[in-house]
Amino acid sequence: MRGSIRRGLITIAGGFLIIVGITGIVLPFLQGFLFIVIGFYLLSFEYRWVRTGIEKCTDRYPKYAPYLRRIVHFLGRGE
């Protein structure tokens, strides 16, 4: 029961942040990219497909991999 509540809250929070990020791409006063990254980061705790997508992006764009690792370490899911 507790696990499903946690999963639901993480899904809602991550989805909300992604929606805010997409809105932020259009609006000049929001940092859309930042909200999208944090939203996907939250979703990666519960969904394997998100973790797989993040790994594929890291493999495809190795230039940005160190930045992603620093963000993940800073947010508390350090490697």
Q: How many domains does the chain have?
A: 1
Question: What's the pLDDT at 78?
Answer: 47
Contact indicator for 11, 18 with CB cutoff of 8 Å: no
Establish if 33 belongs to a structural domain: yes
Please write the tens of the pLDDT for every residue from 8-57. Answer: 888 899 999 999 999 988 888 878 888 888 888 888 888 888 888 888 88
Residue 63 has pLDDT above 50, yes or no: yes
Is 57 within a domain?
Answer: yes
79 located within any domain: no
**Is there a contact between 68 and 54 (Cβ–Cβ < 8 Å)?**
yes
Strand residues in 32-71 grouped as ranges (E): none
Whether residue 58 lies inside any domain: the answer is yes
Which structural domain, as residue segments, surrounds residue 27?
Answer: 2-74
Query: Which pTM value belongs to this model?
Result: 0.71
Pairwise CA distance, residues 11 & 58, whole Å: 23
Residues, the chain = 79
